[in-house]
Structure 1
Amino acid sequence: MIPRPASYADHSVAPPDIEEPGARTWITRGANLVIAISDVTRGTVLSRDAQPDESMVFLASGSATIAAGGERIDAAAETLTIVPPGASRITATSDARIVRVFSNQAADLARQASNAATYSDGAPECAPIVPWPTPPDGFKLRQYTPLAVEKPETNMRIFRSTNLMLNVMTRRDGPRDPRKLSPHSHDDFEQCSVVLEGDYMHHLRWPWTPDQTTWRDDEHVTIGAPSVTVIPAKVVHTSNNVGPKRSWLLDVFAPPRMDFSKKPGMVINAADYPVPAEG
Protein backbone atom coordinates (compact mmCIF):
# COMPACT_ATOMS: atom_id res chain seq x y z
CA MET A 1 0.00 0.00 0.00
CA ILE A 2 1.32 3.45 -0.89
CA PRO A 3 1.89 5.40 2.34
CA ARG A 4 -0.48 8.25 2.99
CA PRO A 5 1.15 11.69 2.58
CA ALA A 6 1.05 14.33 5.25
CA SER A 7 -1.17 17.37 4.68
CA TYR A 8 0.24 20.88 5.12
CA ALA A 9 -2.28 23.71 4.97
CA ASP A 10 -0.63 27.12 5.35
CA HIS A 11 -3.43 29.65 5.59
CA SER A 12 -1.06 32.59 5.29
CA VAL A 13 -0.48 31.75 1.63
CA ALA A 14 -3.47 29.61 0.57
CA PRO A 15 -6.84 31.17 -0.31
CA PRO A 16 -9.76 30.30 1.96
CA ASP A 17 -11.87 27.27 1.11
CA ILE A 18 -15.04 29.20 1.94
CA GLU A 19 -15.35 32.97 1.62
CA GLU A 20 -18.57 34.62 2.75
CA PRO A 21 -19.46 38.13 3.93
CA GLY A 22 -17.55 38.63 7.18
CA ALA A 23 -15.86 35.23 7.20
CA ARG A 24 -12.89 33.56 5.55
CA THR A 25 -12.64 29.85 6.40
CA TRP A 26 -9.87 27.32 5.74
CA ILE A 27 -10.79 23.64 6.06
CA THR A 28 -8.43 20.69 6.54
CA ARG A 29 -9.54 17.16 7.23
CA GLY A 30 -8.04 13.99 8.64
CA ALA A 31 -9.34 10.44 8.64
CA ASN A 32 -11.72 11.08 11.52
CA LEU A 33 -11.93 14.84 11.91
CA VAL A 34 -12.35 18.19 10.21
CA ILE A 35 -10.69 21.43 11.33
CA ALA A 36 -12.20 24.73 10.18
CA ILE A 37 -10.35 27.96 11.02
CA SER A 38 -12.32 31.14 10.38
CA ASP A 39 -11.23 34.77 10.47
CA VAL A 40 -14.45 36.67 11.11
CA THR A 41 -15.59 40.23 11.64
CA ARG A 42 -17.86 41.37 14.44
CA GLY A 43 -21.47 40.26 13.96
CA THR A 44 -20.63 37.31 11.71
CA VAL A 45 -22.51 34.08 12.45
CA LEU A 46 -21.07 30.59 11.97
CA SER A 47 -23.89 28.07 12.21
CA ARG A 48 -24.56 24.35 12.01
CA ASP A 49 -28.12 23.16 11.47
CA ALA A 50 -27.94 19.50 12.46
CA GLN A 51 -24.50 18.39 13.60
CA PRO A 52 -24.95 14.71 14.61
CA ASP A 53 -22.30 14.65 17.35
CA GLU A 54 -20.27 16.93 19.61
CA SER A 55 -17.85 19.53 18.27
CA MET A 56 -15.29 21.88 19.79
CA VAL A 57 -14.81 25.64 19.46
CA PHE A 58 -11.53 27.30 20.46
CA LEU A 59 -11.24 31.07 20.26
CA ALA A 60 -7.69 31.91 19.27
CA SER A 61 -8.56 35.61 19.49
CA GLY A 62 -11.59 37.83 19.88
CA SER A 63 -14.92 37.00 21.50
CA ALA A 64 -18.23 35.39 20.60
CA THR A 65 -21.51 34.07 21.95
CA ILE A 66 -22.25 30.39 21.39
CA ALA A 67 -25.79 29.05 21.39
CA ALA A 68 -26.83 25.38 21.30
CA GLY A 69 -29.25 23.05 23.01
CA GLY A 70 -31.34 25.91 24.36
CA GLU A 71 -28.31 27.45 26.10
CA ARG A 72 -26.20 30.49 25.32
CA ILE A 73 -22.79 31.39 26.71
CA ASP A 74 -20.19 34.09 26.15
CA ALA A 75 -16.79 32.93 24.94
CA ALA A 76 -13.65 35.01 25.36
CA ALA A 77 -10.27 34.59 23.71
CA GLU A 78 -8.40 31.43 24.72
CA THR A 79 -11.54 29.57 25.80
CA LEU A 80 -12.55 26.09 24.69
CA THR A 81 -16.24 25.27 24.33
CA ILE A 82 -17.61 21.80 23.71
CA VAL A 83 -20.83 22.07 21.70
CA PRO A 84 -23.59 19.42 21.96
CA PRO A 85 -25.09 17.66 18.95
CA GLY A 86 -27.75 19.45 16.95
CA ALA A 87 -28.07 23.04 15.81
CA SER A 88 -25.60 25.68 16.99
CA ARG A 89 -24.70 29.30 16.31
CA ILE A 90 -21.47 31.16 16.97
CA THR A 91 -21.91 34.92 16.78
CA ALA A 92 -18.72 36.98 16.79
CA THR A 93 -18.93 39.90 19.24
CA SER A 94 -15.62 41.25 17.95
CA ASP A 95 -13.28 40.46 15.10
CA ALA A 96 -12.04 36.97 15.91
CA ARG A 97 -10.14 33.90 14.83
CA ILE A 98 -12.25 30.84 15.58
CA VAL A 99 -11.03 27.23 15.43
CA ARG A 100 -13.80 24.66 15.08
CA VAL A 101 -13.15 20.93 15.32
CA PHE A 102 -15.66 18.36 14.08
CA SER A 103 -15.65 14.63 13.60
CA ASN A 104 -15.82 13.25 10.08
CA GLN A 105 -19.61 13.20 10.49
CA ALA A 106 -19.44 16.83 9.34
CA ALA A 107 -19.42 15.40 5.84
CA ASP A 108 -20.30 18.67 4.12
CA LEU A 109 -17.22 20.35 5.54
CA ALA A 110 -15.02 17.32 4.88
CA ARG A 111 -15.93 17.51 1.19
CA GLN A 112 -14.81 21.15 1.08
CA ALA A 113 -11.43 20.52 2.73
CA SER A 114 -8.37 21.54 0.76
CA ASN A 115 -6.98 18.01 1.17
CA ALA A 116 -10.23 16.08 0.64
CA ALA A 117 -8.70 13.99 -2.16
CA THR A 118 -6.09 12.60 0.24
CA TYR A 119 -8.88 10.68 2.01
CA SER A 120 -10.78 9.35 -0.98
CA ASP A 121 -10.06 5.79 0.22
CA GLY A 122 -11.47 6.38 3.72
CA ALA A 123 -8.09 5.88 5.48
CA PRO A 124 -8.51 2.24 6.53
CA GLU A 125 -5.25 2.35 8.52
CA CYS A 126 -6.94 4.56 11.15
CA ALA A 127 -9.26 3.14 13.80
CA PRO A 128 -12.74 4.64 13.41
CA ILE A 129 -14.42 6.77 16.04
CA VAL A 130 -16.50 4.73 18.46
CA PRO A 131 -18.29 7.30 20.66
CA TRP A 132 -17.30 7.29 24.31
CA PRO A 133 -20.03 7.23 27.00
CA THR A 134 -22.46 10.13 27.17
CA PRO A 135 -21.63 12.52 30.04
CA PRO A 136 -23.59 11.69 33.22
CA ASP A 137 -25.36 15.07 33.09
CA GLY A 138 -26.06 14.80 29.37
CA PHE A 139 -24.94 16.82 26.38
CA LYS A 140 -24.69 20.56 26.92
CA LEU A 141 -22.42 23.54 26.33
CA ARG A 142 -19.26 23.16 28.39
CA GLN A 143 -16.65 25.87 28.58
CA TYR A 144 -13.05 25.71 29.80
CA THR A 145 -10.11 28.10 30.02
CA PRO A 146 -7.12 25.86 29.28
CA LEU A 147 -4.28 28.32 29.84
CA ALA A 148 -5.65 29.26 33.27
CA VAL A 149 -5.05 25.71 34.50
CA GLU A 150 -1.94 25.44 36.68
CA LYS A 151 0.15 22.44 35.61
CA PRO A 152 3.79 23.47 36.08
CA GLU A 153 5.05 19.97 35.27
CA THR A 154 3.84 20.06 31.65
CA ASN A 155 3.02 22.44 28.81
CA MET A 156 0.01 20.31 27.77
CA ARG A 157 -3.61 21.16 28.62
CA ILE A 158 -5.72 18.21 27.42
CA PHE A 159 -9.51 18.07 27.08
CA ARG A 160 -11.79 15.42 25.62
CA SER A 161 -15.37 14.96 24.49
CA THR A 162 -17.15 11.78 23.44
CA ASN A 163 -15.43 11.86 20.05
CA LEU A 164 -12.50 14.32 20.05
CA MET A 165 -9.44 15.32 22.05
CA LEU A 166 -7.73 18.72 22.06
CA ASN A 167 -4.32 19.50 23.57
CA VAL A 168 -3.85 23.23 24.07
CA MET A 169 -0.12 23.82 24.48
CA THR A 170 1.12 26.73 26.52
CA ARG A 171 2.94 29.37 24.50
CA ARG A 172 6.68 29.23 24.00
CA ASP A 173 8.67 32.47 24.17
CA GLY A 174 11.82 30.98 22.68
CA PRO A 175 12.75 28.11 20.37
CA ARG A 176 12.53 24.55 21.65
CA ASP A 177 15.87 22.97 22.51
CA PRO A 178 16.74 20.85 19.43
CA ARG A 179 18.52 18.39 21.75
CA LYS A 180 15.25 17.66 23.58
CA LEU A 181 12.78 16.70 20.86
CA SER A 182 10.32 13.79 21.18
CA PRO A 183 10.13 11.65 18.03
CA HIS A 184 7.29 9.11 18.24
CA SER A 185 4.54 7.53 16.17
CA HIS A 186 0.93 6.39 16.54
CA ASP A 187 -0.14 2.96 15.29
CA ASP A 188 -3.71 3.66 14.22
CA PHE A 189 -4.49 7.35 14.57
CA GLU A 190 -3.32 10.66 13.17
CA GLN A 191 -2.01 13.77 14.89
CA CYS A 192 -3.27 17.13 13.65
CA SER A 193 -1.15 20.12 14.68
CA VAL A 194 -2.60 23.63 14.48
CA VAL A 195 -0.09 26.50 14.60
CA LEU A 196 -1.70 29.65 16.00
CA GLU A 197 1.41 31.78 16.51
CA GLY A 198 5.02 31.66 15.35
CA ASP A 199 6.78 29.19 13.07
CA TYR A 200 7.18 25.45 13.53
CA MET A 201 9.25 22.81 11.80
CA HIS A 202 7.56 19.42 11.52
CA HIS A 203 9.90 16.44 11.11
CA LEU A 204 8.38 13.27 9.59
CA ARG A 205 9.89 9.86 8.82
CA TRP A 206 7.88 7.15 7.05
CA PRO A 207 8.58 3.52 7.97
CA TRP A 208 10.23 1.30 5.40
CA THR A 209 8.27 -1.63 4.02
CA PRO A 210 9.46 -4.58 1.91
CA ASP A 211 8.37 -2.64 -1.19
CA GLN A 212 11.15 -0.12 -1.77
CA THR A 213 9.17 1.59 -4.51
CA THR A 214 6.81 2.99 -1.85
CA TRP A 215 9.52 4.44 0.41
CA ARG A 216 9.28 8.16 1.10
CA ASP A 217 12.04 10.58 1.96
CA ASP A 218 12.08 12.25 5.36
CA GLU A 219 10.30 15.61 5.49
CA HIS A 220 11.37 18.67 7.45
CA VAL A 221 8.74 21.30 6.75
CA THR A 222 8.65 24.80 8.23
CA ILE A 223 5.16 26.28 8.44
CA GLY A 224 3.79 29.46 9.96
CA ALA A 225 0.54 30.66 11.49
CA PRO A 226 -2.21 29.91 11.09
CA SER A 227 -1.73 26.46 9.65
CA VAL A 228 -2.81 22.84 10.02
CA THR A 229 -0.54 19.82 9.54
CA VAL A 230 -2.00 16.30 9.48
CA ILE A 231 0.55 13.62 10.36
CA PRO A 232 -0.42 10.11 9.17
CA ALA A 233 -0.57 7.05 11.39
CA LYS A 234 2.69 5.09 11.82
CA VAL A 235 4.84 8.07 10.74
CA VAL A 236 7.59 8.98 13.20
CA HIS A 237 7.29 12.69 13.95
CA THR A 238 8.27 15.53 16.20
CA SER A 239 8.00 19.32 15.97
CA ASN A 240 9.90 22.31 17.24
CA ASN A 241 9.21 26.02 17.06
CA VAL A 242 11.93 27.98 15.28
CA GLY A 243 12.97 31.61 15.18
CA PRO A 244 12.47 34.43 17.68
CA LYS A 245 8.66 34.70 17.51
CA ARG A 246 6.43 33.65 20.36
CA SER A 247 4.80 30.37 19.33
CA TRP A 248 1.60 28.52 20.11
CA LEU A 249 0.37 25.09 19.03
CA LEU A 250 -2.75 22.93 19.39
CA ASP A 251 -2.79 19.17 18.80
CA VAL A 252 -6.05 17.47 17.85
CA PHE A 253 -6.94 13.77 17.88
CA ALA A 254 -10.01 11.70 16.99
CA PRO A 255 -11.12 9.55 18.72
CA PRO A 256 -9.88 10.58 22.19
CA ARG A 257 -6.55 9.02 23.12
CA MET A 258 -6.83 6.20 25.64
CA ASP A 259 -3.14 6.43 26.61
CA PHE A 260 -3.59 10.03 27.76
CA SER A 261 -6.92 9.19 29.38
CA LYS A 262 -5.40 6.39 31.49
CA LYS A 263 -2.96 8.78 33.16
CA PRO A 264 -4.54 10.26 36.31
CA GLY A 265 -4.91 14.02 36.09
CA MET A 266 -3.71 14.32 32.50
CA VAL A 267 -7.13 15.03 30.97
CA ILE A 268 -8.39 18.16 32.69
CA ASN A 269 -12.10 17.58 32.11
CA ALA A 270 -12.00 13.82 32.73
CA ALA A 271 -14.77 14.07 35.35
CA ASP A 272 -17.18 15.34 32.69
CA TYR A 273 -16.52 12.51 30.22
CA PRO A 274 -16.32 8.89 31.45
CA VAL A 275 -13.84 6.44 29.95
CA PRO A 276 -15.37 3.42 28.19
CA ALA A 277 -15.76 0.42 30.47
CA GLU A 278 -13.28 -1.66 28.46
CA GLY A 279 -10.75 1.17 28.94
Structure 2
Amino acid sequence: MYAKNDPRASLAAAASGPVRTGLIAEPQVGDFERSPPTEDRDGVKSWHIRGANSVLVWSRCAPGATLVRTGQVDEYVAILPAARADIRAGADRAVTDPNTIAMIPPGASAITLPDGGDVCRLFTTRSADMLALCPNAGAYDAPRTHIPPFAPWSEPAGGLKLRTYSIDVPAQEGRFGRIFRCTTFMVNMLYPSDGPRDTTKMSPHHHDDFEQFSLAISGGYDHHMRWPWTTDMADWRPDRTITVGAPSVCVIPPPVIHTSRASDAGTNQLVDIFCPPRADFSAKPGWVLNADDYPAPEGV
Protein backbone atom coordinates (compact mmCIF):
# COMPACT_ATOMS: atom_id res chain seq x y z
CA MET A 1 0.00 0.00 0.00
CA TYR A 2 1.83 3.05 -1.31
CA ALA A 3 0.90 6.70 -1.64
CA LYS A 4 0.33 7.84 -5.23
CA ASN A 5 3.56 9.83 -5.23
CA ASP A 6 5.63 6.88 -3.95
CA PRO A 7 7.71 5.52 -6.89
CA ARG A 8 6.99 1.96 -5.70
CA ALA A 9 3.33 2.45 -6.56
CA SER A 10 4.34 1.91 -10.21
CA LEU A 11 5.73 -1.58 -9.55
CA ALA A 12 3.86 -4.38 -11.29
CA ALA A 13 1.64 -6.30 -8.91
CA ALA A 14 2.79 -9.84 -8.21
CA ALA A 15 0.63 -12.59 -9.65
CA SER A 16 -1.62 -14.09 -7.02
CA GLY A 17 -1.11 -17.78 -6.27
CA PRO A 18 -2.45 -20.36 -3.88
CA VAL A 19 -2.42 -19.44 -0.21
CA ARG A 20 0.56 -21.12 1.45
CA THR A 21 0.84 -22.10 5.08
CA GLY A 22 3.86 -22.81 7.26
CA LEU A 23 5.09 -19.28 6.68
CA ILE A 24 5.60 -18.27 10.28
CA ALA A 25 9.03 -16.79 10.90
CA GLU A 26 10.39 -14.44 13.49
CA PRO A 27 12.31 -11.29 12.51
CA GLN A 28 16.01 -11.20 13.31
CA VAL A 29 17.26 -8.08 15.11
CA GLY A 30 20.72 -6.68 15.75
CA ASP A 31 20.89 -3.51 17.84
CA PHE A 32 24.64 -3.05 17.78
CA GLU A 33 24.97 -0.22 20.31
CA ARG A 34 23.04 -2.26 22.88
CA SER A 35 24.78 -5.62 22.47
CA PRO A 36 28.39 -6.80 22.87
CA PRO A 37 30.40 -7.37 19.68
CA THR A 38 30.62 -10.89 18.33
CA GLU A 39 34.29 -10.34 17.53
CA ASP A 40 36.83 -7.92 19.03
CA ARG A 41 40.42 -8.08 17.79
CA ASP A 42 43.12 -6.15 15.94
CA GLY A 43 41.41 -2.82 16.52
CA VAL A 44 38.08 -3.98 15.08
CA LYS A 45 34.81 -4.62 16.90
CA SER A 46 32.27 -6.46 14.77
CA TRP A 47 28.63 -7.50 15.05
CA HIS A 48 27.31 -10.36 12.88
CA ILE A 49 23.72 -11.28 12.01
CA ARG A 50 22.35 -13.64 9.39
CA GLY A 51 19.31 -13.92 7.16
CA ALA A 52 18.20 -16.85 5.03
CA ASN A 53 20.79 -16.21 2.31
CA SER A 54 23.14 -13.62 3.75
CA VAL A 55 25.25 -12.34 6.62
CA LEU A 56 25.58 -8.68 7.60
CA VAL A 57 28.69 -7.58 9.50
CA TRP A 58 28.91 -4.14 11.09
CA SER A 59 32.49 -3.27 12.08
CA ARG A 60 33.81 -0.36 14.10
CA CYS A 61 37.47 0.14 13.23
CA ALA A 62 40.30 1.94 15.00
CA PRO A 63 42.50 4.21 12.81
CA GLY A 64 44.61 2.09 10.49
CA ALA A 65 42.66 -1.12 11.09
CA THR A 66 42.35 -3.55 8.19
CA LEU A 67 39.59 -6.02 7.35
CA VAL A 68 41.14 -8.96 5.49
CA ARG A 69 39.51 -11.68 3.42
CA THR A 70 41.41 -14.68 2.07
CA GLY A 71 39.80 -17.28 -0.14
CA GLN A 72 36.53 -15.35 -0.35
CA VAL A 73 34.13 -17.59 -2.26
CA ASP A 74 31.95 -15.00 -4.01
CA GLU A 75 31.42 -11.28 -4.50
CA TYR A 76 30.75 -9.27 -1.35
CA VAL A 77 29.74 -5.67 -0.62
CA ALA A 78 31.20 -2.97 1.63
CA ILE A 79 29.19 0.12 2.59
CA LEU A 80 31.24 3.04 3.94
CA PRO A 81 28.79 5.77 4.99
CA ALA A 82 31.26 8.05 6.77
CA ALA A 83 34.81 6.68 6.48
CA ARG A 84 37.65 6.88 3.99
CA ALA A 85 39.04 3.54 2.83
CA ASP A 86 41.93 1.99 0.95
CA ILE A 87 40.56 -1.14 -0.70
CA ARG A 88 42.69 -3.80 -2.39
CA ALA A 89 41.41 -6.85 -4.22
CA GLY A 90 43.93 -8.88 -6.18
CA ALA A 91 45.70 -6.43 -8.48
CA ASP A 92 42.94 -3.82 -8.06
CA ARG A 93 43.10 -0.87 -5.67
CA ALA A 94 40.71 1.98 -4.86
CA VAL A 95 41.14 4.84 -2.39
CA THR A 96 37.65 6.04 -1.56
CA ASP A 97 35.99 9.01 0.10
CA PRO A 98 33.19 8.62 2.65
CA ASN A 99 29.73 7.73 1.34
CA THR A 100 30.97 4.96 -0.93
CA ILE A 101 29.74 1.46 -1.75
CA ALA A 102 32.21 -1.16 -3.03
CA MET A 103 31.63 -4.45 -4.86
CA ILE A 104 34.57 -6.70 -4.01
CA PRO A 105 35.43 -9.82 -6.04
CA PRO A 106 36.15 -13.32 -4.74
CA GLY A 107 39.64 -14.23 -3.58
CA ALA A 108 41.94 -12.13 -1.42
CA SER A 109 41.02 -8.57 -0.44
CA ALA A 110 41.63 -6.01 2.29
CA ILE A 111 39.84 -2.86 3.45
CA THR A 112 41.96 -0.41 5.45
CA LEU A 113 40.37 2.56 7.22
CA PRO A 114 43.18 5.10 7.71
CA ASP A 115 41.09 7.33 10.00
CA GLY A 116 39.00 4.53 11.50
CA GLY A 117 35.24 4.48 11.37
CA ASP A 118 32.36 2.14 10.59
CA VAL A 119 31.95 -0.23 7.67
CA CYS A 120 29.12 -2.61 6.82
CA ARG A 121 29.99 -5.75 4.87
CA LEU A 122 27.52 -8.10 3.20
CA PHE A 123 28.29 -11.76 2.55
CA THR A 124 26.22 -14.66 1.33
CA THR A 125 25.90 -17.64 3.66
CA ARG A 126 28.52 -19.37 1.49
CA SER A 127 31.05 -17.50 3.67
CA ALA A 128 30.95 -20.17 6.36
CA ASP A 129 33.35 -18.38 8.70
CA MET A 130 31.12 -15.31 8.83
CA LEU A 131 28.00 -17.42 9.29
CA ALA A 132 29.58 -19.24 12.24
CA LEU A 133 30.07 -15.93 14.10
CA CYS A 134 26.35 -15.02 13.97
CA PRO A 135 24.59 -15.34 17.34
CA ASN A 136 21.47 -16.33 15.36
CA ALA A 137 23.29 -18.89 13.17
CA GLY A 138 20.70 -21.54 14.05
CA ALA A 139 17.67 -19.36 13.38
CA TYR A 140 17.14 -20.98 9.99
CA ASP A 141 17.56 -24.61 11.03
CA ALA A 142 13.86 -25.00 10.25
CA PRO A 143 13.85 -24.44 6.46
CA ARG A 144 12.09 -21.38 5.10
CA THR A 145 10.70 -23.22 2.11
CA HIS A 146 8.98 -20.10 0.74
CA ILE A 147 12.35 -18.35 0.28
CA PRO A 148 14.14 -19.66 -2.84
CA PRO A 149 17.72 -20.84 -2.31
CA PHE A 150 20.38 -18.29 -3.21
CA ALA A 151 21.60 -18.17 -6.80
CA PRO A 152 24.02 -15.48 -8.04
CA TRP A 153 23.02 -13.06 -10.78
CA SER A 154 24.91 -12.52 -14.02
CA GLU A 155 28.59 -11.61 -13.86
CA PRO A 156 29.36 -7.98 -14.74
CA ALA A 157 30.69 -6.80 -18.06
CA GLY A 158 34.46 -7.33 -17.99
CA GLY A 159 34.22 -9.94 -15.25
CA LEU A 160 34.43 -9.72 -11.48
CA LYS A 161 36.73 -6.98 -10.24
CA LEU A 162 36.82 -4.24 -7.63
CA ARG A 163 34.20 -1.61 -8.36
CA THR A 164 33.38 1.42 -6.22
CA TYR A 165 30.53 3.91 -6.48
CA SER A 166 29.83 7.22 -4.80
CA ILE A 167 26.54 7.34 -2.95
CA ASP A 168 26.39 11.13 -3.39
CA VAL A 169 23.70 10.92 -6.07
CA PRO A 170 20.99 13.60 -6.22
CA ALA A 171 17.37 12.56 -5.95
CA GLN A 172 15.40 12.20 -9.16
CA GLU A 173 11.66 12.35 -9.71
CA GLY A 174 10.21 8.87 -10.17
CA ARG A 175 13.29 7.01 -8.93
CA PHE A 176 13.21 5.20 -5.60
CA GLY A 177 16.30 5.87 -3.48
CA ARG A 178 19.82 5.07 -4.72
CA ILE A 179 19.96 1.44 -5.79
CA PHE A 180 23.13 -0.51 -6.54
CA ARG A 181 23.43 -4.21 -7.31
CA CYS A 182 26.06 -6.86 -7.95
CA THR A 183 25.97 -10.62 -8.46
CA THR A 184 24.99 -11.28 -4.85
CA PHE A 185 23.19 -8.24 -3.38
CA MET A 186 20.98 -5.27 -4.05
CA VAL A 187 21.47 -2.24 -1.79
CA ASN A 188 19.13 0.76 -1.67
CA MET A 189 20.70 3.73 0.10
CA LEU A 190 17.54 5.60 1.00
CA TYR A 191 17.83 9.36 1.35
CA PRO A 192 18.16 10.66 4.91
CA SER A 193 15.23 12.47 6.48
CA ASP A 194 15.02 15.04 9.25
CA GLY A 195 12.81 14.33 12.22
CA PRO A 196 10.11 11.71 12.76
CA ARG A 197 8.16 10.35 9.81
CA ASP A 198 4.66 11.70 9.29
CA THR A 199 2.30 9.06 10.70
CA THR A 200 -0.23 9.82 7.93
CA LYS A 201 2.30 8.85 5.24
CA MET A 202 3.29 5.27 6.05
CA SER A 203 3.81 2.54 3.43
CA PRO A 204 2.74 -0.91 4.70
CA HIS A 205 3.56 -3.65 2.17
CA HIS A 206 4.85 -7.21 2.00
CA HIS A 207 7.12 -9.46 -0.03
CA ASP A 208 6.02 -12.98 -0.94
CA ASP A 209 9.33 -14.80 -1.08
CA PHE A 210 12.32 -12.70 -0.03
CA GLU A 211 13.63 -11.09 3.11
CA GLN A 212 14.47 -7.44 3.62
CA PHE A 213 17.37 -6.26 5.75
CA SER A 214 16.51 -2.80 7.07
CA LEU A 215 19.81 -1.27 8.24
CA ALA A 216 19.62 1.93 10.27
CA ILE A 217 22.84 3.92 9.95
CA SER A 218 21.63 7.05 11.75
CA GLY A 219 18.74 8.11 13.94
CA GLY A 220 16.14 5.68 15.24
CA TYR A 221 13.32 3.55 13.82
CA ASP A 222 10.13 1.77 14.75
CA HIS A 223 9.73 -1.31 12.53
CA HIS A 224 6.03 -2.20 12.45
CA MET A 225 5.07 -5.76 11.42
CA ARG A 226 1.81 -7.66 10.92
CA TRP A 227 1.65 -11.40 10.29
CA PRO A 228 -0.95 -12.57 7.73
CA TRP A 229 -3.81 -14.82 8.75
CA THR A 230 -3.38 -17.97 6.68
CA THR A 231 -5.71 -20.97 6.95
CA ASP A 232 -3.34 -22.38 9.58
CA MET A 233 -3.61 -20.58 12.92
CA ALA A 234 -0.03 -21.66 13.70
CA ASP A 235 1.03 -18.89 11.30
CA TRP A 236 -0.81 -16.19 13.22
CA ARG A 237 1.08 -13.75 15.42
CA PRO A 238 0.07 -10.51 17.14
CA ASP A 239 1.22 -7.24 15.59
CA ARG A 240 4.72 -6.29 16.63
CA THR A 241 6.78 -3.10 16.73
CA ILE A 242 10.55 -3.31 17.09
CA THR A 243 12.19 -0.09 18.24
CA VAL A 244 15.90 0.34 17.52
CA GLY A 245 18.56 3.01 17.37
CA ALA A 246 21.51 3.20 15.00
CA PRO A 247 23.49 1.30 13.98
CA SER A 248 21.06 -1.60 13.91
CA VAL A 249 19.39 -4.01 11.53
CA CYS A 250 16.00 -5.71 11.38
CA VAL A 251 15.62 -8.72 9.09
CA ILE A 252 11.97 -8.77 8.01
CA PRO A 253 10.64 -12.18 6.94
CA PRO A 254 8.16 -12.72 4.12
CA PRO A 255 5.21 -12.42 3.83
CA VAL A 256 4.99 -10.17 6.90
CA ILE A 257 3.37 -6.79 6.23
CA HIS A 258 5.82 -4.13 7.31
CA THR A 259 6.62 -0.44 7.34
CA SER A 260 9.29 1.53 9.17
CA ARG A 261 8.90 4.90 10.84
CA ALA A 262 11.85 7.20 11.45
CA SER A 263 11.57 8.28 15.07
CA ASP A 264 14.58 10.42 15.95
CA ALA A 265 14.36 14.22 16.18
CA GLY A 266 17.57 14.53 14.14
CA THR A 267 18.72 12.82 10.94
CA ASN A 268 17.40 9.34 10.18
CA GLN A 269 18.73 7.11 7.43
CA LEU A 270 17.79 3.58 6.45
CA VAL A 271 19.40 1.18 3.98
CA ASP A 272 17.37 -1.66 2.42
CA ILE A 273 19.31 -4.80 1.47
CA PHE A 274 18.23 -7.83 -0.55
CA CYS A 275 20.02 -11.09 -1.39
CA PRO A 276 19.95 -11.84 -4.28
CA PRO A 277 18.91 -8.64 -6.12
CA ARG A 278 15.22 -7.84 -6.63
CA ALA A 279 13.81 -8.46 -10.10
CA ASP A 280 11.02 -5.87 -9.78
CA PHE A 281 13.37 -3.01 -8.89
CA SER A 282 15.78 -4.14 -11.61
CA ALA A 283 13.01 -4.00 -14.22
CA LYS A 284 12.43 -0.29 -13.61
CA PRO A 285 14.48 1.78 -16.11
CA GLY A 286 16.94 4.07 -14.36
CA TRP A 287 16.40 2.74 -10.86
CA VAL A 288 19.61 0.68 -10.59
CA LEU A 289 22.45 3.19 -10.82
CA ASN A 290 25.14 0.68 -11.84
CA ALA A 291 22.99 -1.41 -14.15
CA ASP A 292 25.44 -0.95 -17.04
CA ASP A 293 28.12 -2.73 -15.05
CA TYR A 294 25.86 -5.50 -13.79
CA PRO A 295 23.34 -6.63 -16.40
CA ALA A 296 20.21 -8.34 -15.11
CA PRO A 297 19.62 -11.97 -16.06
CA GLU A 298 17.66 -12.60 -19.23
CA GLY A 299 13.95 -12.22 -18.65
CA VAL A 300 14.18 -9.64 -15.84
TM-score normalised to structure 1 length: 0.96
Identical-residue share of aligned pairs (%): 41
Residue of structure 2 equivalent to 1:271: 292
Residue of structure 2 equivalent to 1:103: 124
Q: In 2, distance between residues paired with 1:124 and 1:39?
A: 35
Query: How big is the alpha-carbon RMSD for the aligned residues of Structure 1 and Structure 2?
Result: 1.4
The reply to whether residue 20 of structure 1 matches residue 23 of structure 2 is: no
Residue of structure 1 equivalent to 2:93: 72
The reply to whether residue 34 of structure 1 matches residue 55 of structure 2 is: yes
Q: In 2, distance between residues paired with 1:150 and 1:3?
A: 37
Return the letter of the residue paired with 2:86: T
1:1-150 equivalences under 5 Å are 1=22, 3-150=24-171
Instruction: Report the Cα offset of residue 153 of structure 1.
Output: 4.5
Return the letter of the residue paired with 2:145: P
Instruction: Report the Cα offset of residue 261 of structure 1.
Output: 0.4
Range 23-32 or range 175-184, more displaced: 175-184
Residue of structure 1 equivalent to 2:202: 181
Instruction: Report the Cα offset of residue 155 of structure 1.
Output: 5.6
Range 195-204 or range 113-122, more displaced: 113-122
Residue of structure 1 equivalent to 2:215: 194
Residue pair 1:199, 1:245 contacting (<8 A) in 2 also? no
SS at match of 1:217: coil
Q: In 2, distance between residues paired with 1:198 and 1:49?
A: 34
Q: In 2, distance between residues paired with 1:150 and 1:269?
A: 15
Q: In 2, distance between residues paired with 1:266 and 1:133?
A: 18
Residue pair 2:23, 2:144 contacting (<8 A) in 1 also? no
Q: In 2, distance between residues paired with 1:134 and 1:153?
A: 28
Residue pair 1:128, 1:255 contacting (<8 A) in 2 also? no
Residue pair 1:44, 1:91 contacting (<8 A) in 2 also? yes
Q: In 1, distance between residues paired with 2:131 and 2:249?
A: 14
Q: Deviations over 1:32-77 (max 9, x none)?
A: 1110000001111111101111111111222121100211111221
Instruction: Report the Cα offset of residue 174 of structure 1.
Output: 2.1
Residue pair 2:148, 2:209 contacting (<8 A) in 1 also? yes
SS at match of 1:12: helix
SS at match of 2:154: coil
TM-score normalised to structure 2 length: 0.89
Instruction: Report the Cα offset of residue 154 of structure 1.
Output: 4.7
Return the letter of the residue paired with 2:155: T
Residue of structure 2 equivalent to 1:229: 250
Q: Deviations over 1:79-119 (max 9, x none)?
A: 00110111111111111100001111112111211221211
Q: What is the total number of aligned residue pairs between the two structures?
A: 279
Q: Deviations over 1:196-242 (max 9, x none)?
A: 10010101011112232442111111110010100001111010101
Residue of structure 2 equivalent to 1:160: 181
Q: In 2, distance between residues paired with 1:150 and 1:183?
A: 23
Residue pair 2:228, 2:235 contacting (<8 A) in 1 also? no
Range 118-127 or range 28-37, more displaced: 118-127
Instruction: Report the Cα offset of residue 121 of structure 1.
Output: 2.8
